[in-house]
Amino acid sequence: MASPKLFAPLKLAELELANRIVISPMCQYSADVHGNMTDWHTIHLGNLALSGAGLLIVEASSVAPEGRITPGDVGLYSDDNEKAMARMLESVRGHSPMPVGIQLGHAGRKASCQAPWEGGTQLSLEQGGWQTVAPSEVAYQDDQRPPKAMSLDDIEALKDGFVTSAKRADRLGFDLIELHAAHGYLLHEFLSPLSNQRDDQYGGSLENRMRIVLEIFDAVREVFPQQKPVGIRISGSDWVEGGWDLAQSVELAKALDARGCSFIDCSGGGLDPRQALDVGPSYQVPFARRIKQEVAMPVIAVGLITEPEQAEGIVFSGEADAVALARGMLFDPRWPWHAAAKLGASVHAPKQYLRSQPHTLKGLFDV
């Protein structure tokens, strides 16, 4: 019986993953008011780091205080942020060999909101919210206060923020950086003509709308060690007529590939509440499949990937090089173990858990 492709190694730049299962960044909205990680993050990420996946990516961490989605979002813009992350990483890495990356981003006009379990609506200034920023003065929803259109000086400050956070990520020893240009947050807002109505070098044509993403990639790539991967997550489409779409995503992917991007993670939507999509198993995989036809860098697929056979089919058929799971990993934090058991592969487990191996599955744990 051939070994499952899902459990074959994969290289991103010089980083070798033991398998092709990636744990997606997942916001926890559980930092303190200054953007510092708390004990929750150590428990949450420590649990996921024992799962046997090939890579764990820490939740979207803002490069500026105003870039947080909620007051409980994690930041990597201050010395205190860095110290709190260092404590988490020391604990997690003391018990897991899994590579750990970080997603860097800025929420743009979708910042200054309540946590989802509190309603998720925009916080007023009186409630402790703050003035949001965006490419143009276009609110995400009609009932929200408009964001401030970013000046050229603001854009330069944003680039500096990404660079500074990338340097912090390197000091912390993160193995990888993923830039967040998806889900309607700031970099995605620059890409989409629905949210970007600028008439300068950062708006209008596709070349101009892609400019800030490419400049930030180049700037981060320059300061993060070359052997460590720098990749990106994009939304393949806004699913709104006249918005960002797959054809434009292909052009962005090709431009990033030419610059030495280490991987591209293909998600979708999040920019406009009018989005019309049919959610179902593998519903975003077509983005990865199309982009993989055009680029040399590894491509990661997402989108209701829940079953081992489904994941194996995606990588075996060449639709993508890896799959990323988010909510499925929260529901089943040992998903890679169960996938290995079902597909006839082996997976890493901590020595404290080796006795949990079922008698009928000898060889499941790679000791």
Q: Report the helix count and the strand count for the chain, using DSSP H and E.
A: 10, 12
Which DSSP helix (H) or strand (E) runs through 213?
helix 206-223
Angle between helices 246-258 and 285-292 in degrees, nearest 10 = 50
CA distance linking residue 180 with residue 185, whole number of Å: 8
Q: What CA–CA distances, in Å, run from 253 to 16, 34, 264?
A: 22, 34, 7
Catalytic residue among 185, 202, 283, 353: 185
Contact call for residues 112 and 132 (beta carbons, < 8 A)? yes
Which DSSP helix (H) or strand (E) runs through 322?
strand 322-325
Catalytic residue status for 202: no
List the end-to-end C-alpha distance of the chain, in Å, as a whole number. Answer: 21
DSSP character string of 118-138: GT-PBPPGGGT----EESSS-
Q: What CA–CA distances, in Å, run from 349 to 7, 96, 306, 335?
A: 14, 9, 21, 12
Contact call for residues 63 and 223 (beta carbons, < 8 A)? no
- Which amino acid is present at 13? A
Of the candidates 54, 62, 45, the one whose C-alpha atom is nearest the C-alpha of residue 19 is 54
φ, ψ at 315 (rounded to 5°)? -80, -35
State the catalytic residues. 185
